[in-house]
Structure formats: structure tokens, C-alpha cells
Amino acid sequence: MRTRSAGRGALVGAVAFATAMWGGGAADATASYFAPAATPNPPIMVTSELQAVSCASAAVCMAVGSDQQFDQLAERWTGSSWVVQNLPKLPGQQPPLTGVSCPSTTFCMAVGNYNSGTTVATLAESWNGTSWTIVPTPNPADTSTSILSGVSCTSSTACTAVGSYDNGGATMYSDLIEQWNGASWTIEVETTPPGALGSSLYSVACSSSVSCVAVGSTDTGSPPTYSALIEQWNGAVWNVAASPPGPTNAELLGVACGSTTTCTAVGNYESSVGIELTLAEEWSGSAWILNKTPSPSLTDSSLNSVTCASATSCTAVGSRGSSGNELALGERWSGTTWTVASVPSVASGTNTLLEGVSCIATTSLCAAVGYSIHSRGPDTTVTELTNGTAWTIFPSPNGQTISGDSELLGVSCAAATSCVAVGSYENALDQQVPLAETWAGAAWTISPALTVAGATTTYLTSVSCASTTMCMAVGYYQTSTSSTPSPLAEEWNGIT
């Protein structure tokens, strides 16, 4: 069974609000450009990484990560520039801040962990609109390692953080859930299923302060036998939900909740002959129901991510095929059945990988982006759109070179005529340079993204727009004279 990906590179893991971009085109007086928004590095020039970002408005974004000196790093977008934050420090090494959530312009919560030299302990820091403060987080008793990896806040008084800890006992590792009530963090009662050798939570979705769903997998045997794991918060306690019987060696990798009574979780399971097949489960408001998902061929297939525009409209994407011969996979939920969307791959003899998907709630439009690996020749960008009926590959321009690779890593749409995708390509000098493409309703066009002077390697890995006049793309760059990368952010104001 495939293991869940830890992320695509060290820089920028998550974007916490809807993303969009508008038509670019040839470089003329009316063209739309990305302009580098300088992201400062710590005083000593070391590797700096931003792993997560959350924006509450066009003038309030928070990005978190770390540098090579094991110092945690946070940078705040003020509407015109990025400013390194003065973070309080605890003794010992400071591994990265790995998650951040900003439900308002005056409150953010970031989570991670720190190493005292003898133990690894959970860490949470809050921002009140002016300064950062370490918020004490409890750790399970008799453990040497406790980690918080993600956080979701619906308000300044309601946050949920998830992670894991090594309990040193028979189960060895257990999932960890902590909740913030506006005054303190508390550990939720252990929810690992009885008899489990271990459990992990991969994704969480909260529709309100009294309704959250976390999904993952639990190890129930030796050799490892995995079962899908669903845990639900009802405002009072976390409960292990009764997963419908059937699939074995199963894991749920993504979950989306439109309300307290509608959630969809997706993942994969292993068949009796050792083939990995797609898996989807639906929360009806009272029980989880196993929804039959078609697996398109007698090869491995998995659904890795899901987004829902409503209770009767969800789109999940993933891949199908064995390693080295993987093809794009998309499936749609109509409210009653899952169907394989005819998601074309570029050509035979290639691997087509879809990395991101975005759907518009008010229309039938969904956009998926990724890249195609060719056995001969460079990797090329892939963009596919659906109108609710069929998926179609839309030609997407590649970087301005014949021999170099091009890839798109993220996409988001604000309207049926407003999408943006970002990534990178190799130019004629074998330098990796940023790539941004925009969809205006008829075609994809390259929207010029600028490269920092002297940079030989530049990637844009994620993009987010708070409004039609403020977009932020993030990534990193490295110069020929530096052995370490630096964080990069590029801002678009709708004009330049």
C-alpha cells in the first residue's frame, strides 16, 4: 500500500483560502505580471523554508517554516511587503513550524514541535495581530516524542491540532488531537481503536466549532494490516466512527465537509489479489456509508484529494496504474453514485500525474493541473477542465525552451473564467525558472512571472488570491553564489 506523501518539496505546504488569477498574455502595456515580493531571510544566510501559509485578508497573510539553524521562522504579509516575525524561543532545537491557521486578521495559530535534547515536544504559538506568544501545549505522559503537524481554526476560540506521539508501549505510536478553547490547549481523550498497534490521522475538516472529522488509518495486525480510520468531534468528545465493513488494508487520505451532515472521505484499499483500488465513504449525518467507487483498470488506483461544491457534487483526483506507468484519474460524486470521469492522459508511453484540483461552487467547472513524464523528451505541463460532463485536456503552454521540463504544481479557480496554475520550467540555459499560467475561459496563457536577479533555480509551488486585486504565489530561489535556497513570494495586484 502506498504511503501518504509528506509534501512536494520543503517549501510551502498549504494554502488556506480560495485562489484565483486572471488572464495574462503577451508582455505589453496591459499584460498582467507577477512581481517578486521580497521575503527576508534570517540574519545569517542559511537555508530558509516556508512550509505553510494562511491569509485572512489581502493585507494579512502568515507563512511559517524554519531555517537550517533549527530556528522556527514566521513571515507576515502586510499588504506591501513580507516582514520576519519576532518569535519567542524555547531552549533546544526548533524544528519547523508546520501548520498555521488565521481565521481573522487579528488571530493566527501556528503549530509544530521543539527538541529539548532529551524529548521532542509539541509547540503552539499564537499571534494577536501584533506579537507572537508561546501557548503551552500538553504532551501525553511517558512519551519521548510528540508532534503537532497541522491545525485548523474556525475562530480565535476554536482550533483543532492533529499529530502523533510515540507512547513507548505495545502500540508504539498513536494519533494525537489537541483543542484550543481560546484560553488553553487540552489533549483529547485517546481515540486509538482498541487492539490497534498504531494509528495515524492524515486530514481533518471542521465545518464548525462543534463539528470536525479526521481521517487516516490504523494498524491492526502483524504483519501490518491497515484499516480506514475516521474520528469525529461532536462538540463534546471525539469518537471513533464505525467505518462500514468491507475493504481491508485501507486508508483514507482526504476529507471534505460541506456541513455538519455532509462529509466525503477518499483514499484506497488493497484487494484480495494485492491490487490497490479506490475508496470513498460518505457521512449522511448519522452514519458512514461505503460508496462504491469504480477503479478503471486492473492496476493500482488511488484517490488522494477531494473537494465538494455541495452535498451532491464532489470531485476527487488521484492516479491509476503501476509505478512508472501512472495515468491521471478523476471521479465525480453526483449525490448517489461515483463515476469515473474520462480524464485523458497526454499520450501512450507517458506518465500523467495530476497534482491539484479546484472546483467552483456556483458552476460546474473544475480544473486539474499536473505534468506528463515522457520516456523521450522533456516533462510537459498538463491542464484539464470539466464542465460537469466531460474532462478535456486544454493545451497549456510550456516554458520557452524545447528541451527543458515544465510542470504545474498547483491550481485554483475563482470563477469559470478565472483560474491560475503555477510551477516551473527549464530555460535554454538549463536554469529552473518560475511558470504561471492563467485561464480566462477559452485558453491557457503564460502570465509572466519574474525571476530574482542572479537566481539560477526558481520554483513557484503554491498560489493564493484574497481578492481580484491581490494574489500571492510562493516558492523559493537559489543563486549561483549561494549553496542554500531562499524563500520567494510574488505578488499580483491585477495590473503589474
pLDDT beyond 50 at 73 = yes
Before 43, cis peptide (omega within 30)? no
Residue 71, number of CB atoms within 10 A of its CB: 17
pLDDT tens sequence across 441-472: 788 777 778 788 888 888 887 776 666 666 67
Of 66, 109, 117, 72, whose CA–CA distance to 91 is shortest?
A: 117
Please answer whether residues 226 and 232 qualify as being in contact, where contact means their C-beta atoms are separated by less than 8 angstroms.
Answer: no
Q: Residue 347: is its pLDDT beyond 80?
A: no
What is the pLDDT of the chain when averaged over all its residues?
Answer: 76
Quick check: helix, strand or coil at residue 378?
coil
Q: Determine the Cα angle at 30 with ends 29 and 34, to 5°.
A: 95
- Where in 6-106 does DSSP place strands (E)? 35-37, 48-57, 60-67, 72-77, 82-84, 99-104
Q: How do residues 261-273 score in pLDDT, each as one tens digit?
A: 899 999 999 988 8
Which of 278-301 are b and which e, b meaning 16 or more Cβ less than 10 Å from the residue's Cβ? bbbbbbeeeebeebebebbeeebb
The x, y and z cell numbers of residue 134, run together, are: 508561546
Give the pLDDT score at 350: 64
Residue written as grid cell 488569477: 21
Burial of 5 (0-12, 13-18, 19+ CB in 10 A): exposed
- The three-class DSSP label of residue 106 is coil
CA 152 to chain centre: 13
Please state the pTM of the whole predicted model: 0.60
Q: Could you tell me the pLDDT band of residue 187, with boundaries at 50, 70 and 90? A: very high
What the block records as the C-alpha cell of 372 is 506528463
Cβ-based neighbour number of residue 375 at 10 Å: 10
Q: By the 8 A CB rule, do 72 and 467 touch?
A: no
Tens digit of pLDDT for each residue in 384-403?
Answer: 877 777 777 876 666 555 45
Evaluate if residue 33 carries a pLDDT over 80: no
